[in-house]
Structure 1
Amino acid sequence: MASINPAARSLRLLQQVGSRCLCPAHSRQPVAVAHNCPSHGQGHRAATRQGYASVKKPTRPAMEYAFEMASSNIRFGEGATREVGMDFLNLKTNKVCVLTDPNLKTMHPVREAIRSLEENNVNYVLYDRVRIEPSDASFKDAIAFAQQHQVDSFLAVGGGSVMDTAKAANLYSSYPDADFLDFVNAPIGKGRPIDKALRPLIAIPTTAGTGSETTGTAIFDYKPLKVKTGIAHRALKPLLGIVDPLNTRSMPAQVHLASGLDVLCHAMESYTAIPYNLRSAPPLNPLLRPAYQGSNPISDVWSLRALQMVVEYLPRVVKDPNDHQAQSQMLLAATFAGIGFGNAGVHLCHGMSYPISGLNKQYKHPQYQVDHNMVPHGISVAVTAPAVFQFTSAMYPERHLELAELFGADITNVKKEDAGRVLADRLRVYFQDLKVPNGIGALGFGSQDIPALVEGTLPQHRVIKLAPLEAAKDDLQRIFEQSLNIY
């Protein structure tokens, strides 16, 4: 397999930004009309769906011209958890809200973190009711706890559910008079920007998947609409992520699997997202520039490296619970992917996963100790991936071929129009070897459920609008149909 040099590719991308053709076919702005493109003459037809207006001199740039890189400080190393008490001591905090879930509260990561707080005489209160796959109700419960105890800093010890809950508790503790939907992503919420610094939050991940220790995103089930949505802003990101491989040693194999699949989709979606400079017009105020900006030369480096690591190490982790090297590398891959997608964003796999989780009625994944039916997030994003990337390959097929090559495909003589099929085939083989549930059918969904799944996807503007090719209602329906069984 040919080696990929992400740094060299990134330099080439930076050099190309000023000279790239900006017609809709190459800007990947979805339309379906013939237009005149200076580079291609009359009748050049775009694989997109909206008109191509005549260019007028703008009062400000017509397209985005900048991207921002934001990430938490990261401390990586075995045993680094023992330092967290000193971190809060250095911050001179008065009362820390420690958040975790009921399964973790007596396990090593939480015990070690609390021991460190106590040894450094840091005052804290413990909230151990975090719901795995949180909801609006569980977010509100944690928010009320933090407000009641008047804490001035936060420590999250757990997986993405815990870290996301801590972000929400931090946000609404800083805005005690805000309505819950004020900061929730539009169109479900108002998408209000965060215009002040929040309290310090330190995150200690115990799963190798979400990368939430690096990002400004908090995801939850919004029960009134039976869909997942979230809150996204750079101000939400933790001050510090302590990434300690000792904290993932107790993860069951199926939790490793689901978490690793989330990393895989983070990396693939962020690398194939619409480029930052073709996403939309720049904001009137940089405060309004979204956390998810589209693919960019820096995120590309992190996303590609994360995918390389997942392809190599996830099968080892699932096969052997004592493969500590593979576990450590998967935890690092999750952080790498978090830096990548936390700035570039994800698209259709994640957008379509939210109704899969929200509309689940009967599925409960093995080895998850929860008292409710649940499709783990990583499973819900993976089951549509083969069909999604076959669809999106119509734009930037070269990138899709690069991804297929990372999964072991020989792309030497593959035509661009076959990029999606080749990548989808490699994904199916990879998933079958890992015994991933065989499509949404294995999760309890049938053809009769697809209209509701489509309707649940359409409001997910924050992510689906980052797809390299616009997915209309009939496209989403076709992707769900192709995902009933995936191998």
Structure 2
Amino acid sequence: MIPRNRVLDLLRTINSAACQCPAHGYRGNIQVSNVTPLKDYAFEIKCSTVRYGLGVTREVGLDLVNLGAKNVCVMTDPNLVSLNPVKAVLNSLTKNGINYKVYDKVRVEPTDSSFKDATRFVKEGQFDSFVAVGGGSVMDTCKAANLYYCDPDADFLDYVNAPVGKGKPVDVTLKPMIAIPTTSGTGSETTGAAIFDFEDIHTKTGISHAALRPLLAIIDPLHTLSLPEKVSNYAGFDIFCHALESFTAIPYTERGPAPSNPALRPAYQGSNPISDVWARFCLHTLQKYFTRAVYNADDIEARSYMHLAATMAGVGIGNAGVHLCHGLAYPIAGNVKSFVPKDYGKDPIIPHGLSVVMTAPAVFRYTASSDPDKHLEAAGLLGAEVTGKKKADAGEILSDTILKYMDTMKIENGLSSLGYTSEDIPKLVKGALPQQRLLKMSPLQQSEEDLSKMLEDSLTIF
């Protein structure tokens, strides 16, 4: 192995000898230091293995055979347990002689209590692998149950993100998990995040570590054909905001501090050239297929592309991160009053994608000054005419573009339509402040007054 000092000498030699003309992008001397910089200087891309194709769910039984699985926990929710996606999974397991038990009590928009209930189930089962079939709620619940099953002595808050929990790194080996998404939005099949409502403080938080990532994501567009219109709609806006937020997040070279050990580099690292590729793909896909997928349930082409975009957005956010839309969305969902959306049952709930997009117009008006070119590019990818537009107008142009999509998709007219008033703003800000992991990913720092204004501006949006 070449000694470090030899490598540094070589870099300095290359730098001094390199062509310094503008045509070759000379940007000044490369500074090589032995000291770990205050801000990060690298990013890394981690991702679950992704398998995509119509009908590919039939292969899951063989995947488990290949893993040597003997006793599998299949997790889903009460709405899905009797539908085709779960039937396809169980048929494949049965055909291939896999022993399994089904946990079908996953709560849509899970809580700390529902995570704990799932954990109790798996601790009684002696499972050697997991299969999650469902939306983000199912996949996140499965991740959490796998974690606490593999670390039975852990306190629940040990792994929950700080400052709500202790935010301990995961140093136990988890069981293999296969994720089979049935909605097109969360991207949880490729991330190491598990999000839940923490009931004591009425806001969402989560567990975030690369160890939680599923081993394999099976992306089967056939499962999306059973999605109701509103579920497809709200889930699509989760893709929408994942792409916009990861694309506009603080650049990875501006995030700090740099890790003292690469194993300590966080999952959310800031925007970078590779995550930007996924974000651009998603924004272009939304422009072409979002409306078709929502209003034409049997449009297999549109729903297939949206299903793929959800996974690609998951790869992007799983490494770049999201920021203000998600940070503000968590208390919006956690403090739900009486809003009951169509296609989501009878209990009050603010679906995740809806809570996230509510503040998006205000958020991107706020962040646009950090990088007007990127905000204009995002608007252009979503179909806006941006040729010759002024950088100073980037925020309004992107905001107006988002509002057009919200209007087309018949999204509710702001937080007031979800039951909130100006009197609720301080409580929502208080719920957002613990989301420092997300708020710090914003390209602009923000004060409590800034958060309040974004929420106030989101009370009525049309």
| Range into which the TM-score falls when normalised by the shorter chain | over 0.9
Cα distance, 1:58 vs structure 2: 7.9
| Within-5 A mapping of 1:445-460 | 445-460=420-435
1:13-45 deviations in Å (ceiling 9; x for gaps): xx98976999xxxxxxxxxxxxxxxxxxxxxxx
| Within-5 A mapping of 1:398-437 | 398-437=373-412
Matched, 1:72 2:62: no
Cα distance, 1:175 vs structure 2: 0.6
Distance change (3 Å), C-alpha of 1:358 and 1:151 = same
Cα distance, 1:333 vs structure 2: 0.6
8 A Cα contact 2:283 2:382, kept in partner: no
Partner Cα distance (1:173, 1:438) in 2:
42
Amino acid at match of 1:455: K
* Coordinate RMSD, CA, aligned: 1.7
Alignment TM-score, normalising by the size of structure 2: 0.92
Higher deviation after alignment, 328-337 or 315-324: 315-324
Which residue in 1 is equivalent to 2:185?
209
SS in 2 for 1:220: strand
Matched, 1:102 2:102: no
Which residue in 1 is equivalent to 2:455?
480
| Within-5 A mapping of 1:327-476 | 327-369=303-345, 371-476=346-451
Partner Cα distance (1:128, 1:429) in 2:
38
Amino acid at match of 1:161: S
Cα distance, 1:196 vs structure 2: 3.2
Partner Cα distance (1:247, 1:279) in 2:
38
Distance change (3 Å), C-alpha of 1:119 and 1:16 = farther
8 A Cα contact 2:286 2:382, kept in partner: no
Identity %: 54
Distance change (3 Å), C-alpha of 1:17 and 1:192 = farther
SS in 2 for 1:149: coil
Which residue in 2 is equivalent to 1:165?
141
Matched, 1:270 2:246: yes
Distance change (3 Å), C-alpha of 1:214 and 1:226 = same
8 A Cα contact 2:151 2:172, kept in partner: no
- Give unmatched runs, 5+ long, in structure 1: 1-14, 23-56
Identify which of 205, 217, 230 aligns with 1:229: 205
Which residue in 1 is equivalent to 2:6?
none
Amino acid at match of 1:375: I
Distance change (3 Å), C-alpha of 1:19 and 1:201 = farther
Cα distance, 1:413 vs structure 2: 2.4
Distance change (3 Å), C-alpha of 1:21 and 1:176 = same
Distance change (3 Å), C-alpha of 1:421 and 1:204 = same
Amino acid at match of 2:127: V
Higher deviation after alignment, 203-212 or 192-201: 192-201
8 A Cα contact 1:346 1:463, kept in partner: yes
Partner Cα distance (1:20, 1:458) in 2:
40
| Within-5 A mapping of 1:16-415 | 59-369=35-345, 371-415=346-390
Partner Cα distance (1:131, 1:184) in 2:
19
Cα distance, 1:287 vs structure 2: 2.1
Count of aligned positions: 438
Partner Cα distance (1:448, 1:300) in 2:
38
Cα distance, 1:130 vs structure 2: 0.1
Cα distance, 1:229 vs structure 2: 0.3
SS in 1 for 2:394: helix
Partner Cα distance (1:311, 1:351) in 2:
25
SS in 2 for 1:485: coil
Partner Cα distance (2:120, 2:81) in 1:
20
Distance change (3 Å), C-alpha of 1:58 and 1:447 = farther
Amino acid at match of 2:315: I
8 A Cα contact 1:193 1:287, kept in partner: no
Partner Cα distance (2:348, 2:29) in 1:
48
8 A Cα contact 2:184 2:235, kept in partner: yes
Distance change (3 Å), C-alpha of 1:365 and 1:102 = same
Q: Which portions of structure 1, spanning 4 or more consecutive aligned residues, are displaced by more than 3 angstroms? A: 15-22
1:418-461 deviations in Å (ceiling 9; x for gaps): 11011111111121111011111111101110110111111101
Amino acid at match of 1:289: R
Partner Cα distance (2:29, 2:181) in 1:
40
Amino acid at match of 1:248: T
Distance change (3 Å), C-alpha of 1:416 and 1:130 = same
Distance change (3 Å), C-alpha of 1:439 and 1:120 = same
Partner Cα distance (1:95, 1:303) in 2:
38
1:438-486 deviations in Å (ceiling 9; x for gaps): 1111111011101101111111011111000011100000000110111
